[in-house]
Amino acid sequence: RNPSQFTINPSRHNVNIPEIKRHLHRFGYLQRNNNNKNLGLPITGKPDSDTLSHVRLPRCGYPDDVDSKTTAFHTKQK
């Protein structure tokens, strides 16, 4: 999965958590209002470098949270 649409040259000043979550939701990676901790990352409340580094890494295409899959997960074009 390629998150490059928003991770190419991200600026710390114009990327915020709601924006990232909207993006992930739009492309089927995250349900709305999902505040779950994931990937063993610390919760910092901001788009910290650890989190952004993980978003950029190549990853397995299978969803992490299989219980929360929605129809959108299957129908949205990635």
Partner 1 sequence: YVYFPGRPRWTRDIPLQLTYAFSQENLTPYLTPTQIRRVFRRAFAKWALVIPVSFVETEDYEIADIKIGFFAGDHGDGEPFDGVLGTWAVDFHEQKSTVAVDLESVAVHEIGHVLGLGHSSVKDAAMYPTLKPRSKKVDLNVDDVVGVQSLYGTNPNFNISGLLASETSTNLAD
Dig out the tokens for 7 from the structure: 């991770």
Q: Which range touches partner 1 (CB under 8 A), out of 8-16, 17-25, 37-45?
A: 37-45
Least distance to partner 1, CB of residue 75, Å: 9
Complex with partner 1: residue 19 or 64, whichever CB lies closer: 64
| Coil/strand/helix, residue 2 | coil
Question: Cβ(10)–Cβ(52) under 8 Å?
Answer: yes
| Contact between 35 and partner 1 per CB under 8 A | no
| Residue 8 near partner 1 by CB under 8 A | no
Calpha distance 5→23 (Å, rounded): 9
Q: Tokens for 34, please give them.
A: 């999902």
Instruction: List residues binding partner 1 (CB under 8 A).
Output: 1-2, 37-40, 54, 57-64, 66-67, 73-74, 78
